[in-house]
Amino acid sequence: MYIKKLLKPFIATTALTLALAGCGAGNNTTEGEKESAPKEKQEEKVVNVYTARHYEADEQVYKDFTEETGIKVNVVKGEAEELIERLKREGESTQADLFITVDGGVLAHAKENDILQPVESDVINENVPANLRDKENKWIGMSTRARVIVYAKDRVTPDQLSTYEDLATDKWQGKVLARSSTNLYNQSLLASFIELNGEQAAEEWAAGIAKNFARQPDGGDRDQAKAIAAGTGDVAIMNTYYVGLMANSADAEEAKVAEQIGVFFPNQETNGTHINVSGIGLTKHSKHPNNATQLIEYMTGKEAQEYLSANNYEFPVNPEAEKPELLQSWGEFKAQELNFDTLAEHNQKAIEVFNKVGWK
């Protein structure tokens, strides 16, 4: 099953308990009024979210939504695969209205498992371009992040950089840093190469990167940046939002590391820089679909998009939202164009390729 072996042990915290047990409490509407009231009037002012995103910025957006609409947001946090399995197990009895996660392949996996339903909203369609929505609107993009080349400013100049493929050439031997092949971000990157360039070219790239490692893959994206600052390697493959988080970290060491690295968007003359998407879907058995749709509309609106971008350093999906100064300083870039479903389709092959070439 897609990503099941890749995810960390399930960690869940829940805010549903009393809120779910008290559904309908304090409702003074008579039975006759209930029968004649429109559907949206009958919904309790609550929306229940299962999310694999564990960011403070998301929590603040939920609070702002509640203040504006009076609709309470209850949150269950966990790893994506566990939440998908939970939704399948709960079936019609689930209290979840929305499923939120990172990675287009995971969103495709959720869709394949028949736990989502289409969202119908002109507001959402206006907020989010079609290429960042499922073709059936079973999930909606809420932010993107680019997987870029990060480099040591004191040892590498941007004119030395060009493409992901160039990192696999001899000139970068002993200088490349990357996370483990078990990392979903790397698997989706390679899956995108399989889709765009073919399996053989993707394998040759992965083999070249493995040959050029400055050290065996170790740690997360931030650890690659720290290894650049320490002189272990000169370039690394990283997600942009980690650079933003480090640059604005309360940890003085992380902030200092961020000052020493630059961001480069590769493949601008070919297929474009790889991007991935965080998305939100309406669960198949949602009890509060109108409230849930309102939350999606809110989270993809200009104000919430600007807040998420300014505080989590992801790229907004809403083209009307202004990016924070740091993201603007990196410049505009051409993004890969592909169906995010293909990240799930090629995931197993990507794992096989990584194993074959020795990218541990």
Q: Tell me, yes or no, whether 284 and 180 share the same domain.
A: no
Same domain, 185 and 103: no
Q: What is the CATH number of the domain that holds 123?
A: 3.40.190.10
192 and 175 within one domain: yes
CB 113 within 8 A of CB 4: no
In a domain, 287, yes or no: yes
Q: What string of DSSP letters covers 292-326?
A: HHHHHHHHTSHHHHHHHHHHH-PBPSSTTSPPPHH
Pick 280 or 31 by higher pLDDT: 280
What integer best gives the mean pLDDT of the chain?
91
pLDDT at 59 exceeding the cut of 50: yes
24-44 tens-digit pLDDT: 333 444 344 434 334 445 689
Of the chain, the end-to-end C-alpha distance in Å amounts to 20
> Which pLDDT belongs to residue 96?
98
Q: Are residues 43 and 94 in the same domain?
A: yes
37 located within any domain? yes
Which range of residues forms the domain containing residue 307?
A: 13-142+277-329
4 located within any domain = no
Rounded CA-CA distance 321/306 in Å is: 5
Domain contains 43: yes
Going along 168-247, which residue ranges are E strands?
176-177, 235-239
What are the pLDDT digits (tens) for 200-241?
999 999 999 999 999 999 999 999 999 999 999 999 999 999
Q: Please determine, for residue 341, whether its predicted confidence score (pLDDT) is greater than 90.
A: yes
- Does 213 reside within a domain? yes
Q: Same domain for 102 and 114?
A: yes
How many domains does one find in the chain?
2
Q: 92 lies in a domain?
A: yes
Query: E strands along 65-125, which residues?
Result: 72-77, 98-102, 116-117
Q: What percent of the chain has pLDDT over 90?
A: 88
Residues 173 and 284 in one domain: no
Q: How many CA atoms lie within 13 A of 8 on its CB side?
A: 6
Q: Does one domain contain both 124 and 266?
A: no
Q: Is the pLDDT of residue 14 over 80?
A: no
Mean pLDDT of 319-343: 96
Dihedral of the CA atoms 303, 304, 306, 307 (nearest 10)?
A: 120
What lies within 8 Å, CB to CB, of 274 at 6+ separation is 146, 147, 164, 188, 189, 192, 336
Same domain for 57 and 79, yes or no, is yes
Dihedral angle, C-alpha 297, 3, 148, 298, nearest 10 °: 10
**Percentage, residues of the chain above pLDDT 70:** 88
Residue 1 within any structural domain of the chain = no
Give domain status of residue 89, yes or no: yes
- Give the contacts of 135 (CB within 8 A, at least 6 positions apart): 339
Q: What is the pLDDT of residues 77-120, one digit of tens each?
A: 999 999 999 999 999 999 999 999 999 999 999 999 999 999 99
pLDDT value, residue 41: 53
**Is the separation of the CB atoms in 127 and 317 below 8 Å?**
yes
Q: Provide the angle, in degrees to the nearest 10, between the axes of the packed helices 104-112 and 184-197.
A: 90
Report which of residues 42 and 141 the model is more confident about.
Answer: 141
If asked whether residues 192 and 253 sit together in one domain, one would say yes
Q: Quick one: pLDDT band at residue 4, thresholds 50, 70, 90? A: very low
337 lies in the same domain as 306: no
Q: What is the pLDDT of residues 255-275, one digit of tens each?
A: 999 999 999 999 999 999 999
Domain co-membership, 170 together with 251 = yes
Amino acid 125: pLDDT: 98
Residues 160 and 255 in one domain: yes
**CA nearest to 98, candidates 278, 311, 309, 343:** 278
pLDDT value at residue 188: 97
Q: What is the pLDDT of residue 43?
A: 83
pLDDT tens per residue, range 152-186: 999 999 999 999 999 999 999 999 999 999 999 99
In whole angstroms, give the CA distance from residue 116 to residue 133.
Answer: 13
Evaluate if residue 11 carries a pLDDT over 60: no
Tell me what pLDDT residue 42 has: 65
CA dihedral for 262, 302, 300, 14, sign (positive or negative): positive
Cβ pair 326, 153 in contact under 8 A: no
Residue 190: pLDDT over 70 = yes
Residue 13 confidence (pLDDT): 40
CA 56 to CA 86: how far, in whole Å?
Answer: 24
More confident residue, 15 or 126: 126
